[in-house]
Amino acid sequence: MVSFVLAALLSACVPSPRPESAKVSTATAAPLASTPQQAFLLRLRSLCGKAFAGRIVADTPATADDPFAGKPLVMHVRECDGDTVRIPFHVGDDHSRTWVITLGDGHRVLRLKHEHRHADGSDDAMTLYGGNSRALPEAKPAEEMAGQWRFEFPADLYSMALFRAQHRTISISNVWAVELDAQRFVYELARTNRLFRVEFDLTQPQPLPPPPWGATAAH
């Protein structure tokens, strides 16, 4: 009798198997943005693997040897690795340009760099210039988190030194900008007496372009 009672007590202490419906889910929730910069990058990452056609909406002053005039313009959100997104910018048959956007400093700073390569894959002398995003005005974060972003990138010290070395001192005051919303991505270059803006239509994905110069076809 004693052994029977002891066995009954022990069995009562053993938890019954948890019903399937009560099991804790191990699925990873979609990441939530903690800053406007991170929200921007997450939206950009959602476009990964897609290409979009662009059109020039500002290009002043006009020049006779404008490398963009009359050329098809395509951006390809090609590589999204961690906090870095690489976007080749194709201008006709020129596949030398890639925008590299990186999130850093506790998700509070974006870095924009311009990578330029020759057709053989070697680095151009003028490459990896750009800068870090300016701090956002106090009144803008709510709007920035809601799906409309604009970030400006003044030339950093590396870029200024590169421009001096390459006799491009006119570019030292460069401020690049990117804008992103549900319908468009905009790339902008501005300085005194110079404004260049190209706008890409995100509502109409295009056939993928070839790899940028120096890259493999794997992505």
Report d(CA 219, CA 209) in Å as an integer: 11
Domain membership of residue 162 as a residue range? 31-206
Q: What is the pLDDT of residues 80-129, one digit of tens each?
A: 999 999 999 999 999 999 999 999 999 999 999 999 999 999 999 999 99
**Rounded alpha-carbon distances, angstroms, from residue 89 to 14, 51, 93, 99, 113:** 63, 10, 11, 7, 12
Asked if residue 217 is part of any domain, the answer here is: no
Q: What is the pLDDT of residues 30-78, one digit of tens each?
A: 467 889 999 999 999 999 999 999 999 999 998 888 999 999 999 999 9
Residue 140 has phi, psi (to 5 degrees) of -100, -20
Asked if residue 78 is part of any domain, the answer here is: yes
The reported pLDDT for the residue numbered 63 is 87
Asked if residue 1 is part of any domain, the answer here is: no
The CATH number of whichever domain residue 190 belongs to comes to: 2.40.128
Give start and end residues of each alpha helix (H) in the chain: 2-13, 36-45, 141-145, 157-165
Question: Token match 């760099």: residue?
Answer: 113
176 beta partners: 153, 189
Joined together, the tokens standing for residue 180 give 């992103």
Q: 29: which residues sit within 8 A by CB, 6+ positions away?
A: none
In 3-state terms, the chain is what percent helix, strand and coil (to 5)?
Answer: 20, 40, 40
Asked if residue 168 is part of any domain, the answer here is: yes
Asked if residue 22 is part of any domain, the answer here is: no
User: Residue 12: helix, strand or coil by DSSP?
Assistant: helix
Average pLDDT over the chain reads 87
C-alpha triplet 54, 55, 56: angle, nearest 5°? 130
When divided into structural domains, the chain yields a total of 1
Asked if residue 120 is part of any domain, the answer here is: yes
Asked if residue 212 is part of any domain, the answer here is: no
Asked if residue 20 is part of any domain, the answer here is: no
First to last CA, the chain: 72
User: Helix count (H) and strand count (E) of the chain?
Assistant: 4, 11
Q: Which residue has the higher pLDDT, 141 or 10?
A: 141
Report d(CA 78, CA 209) in Å as an integer: 10
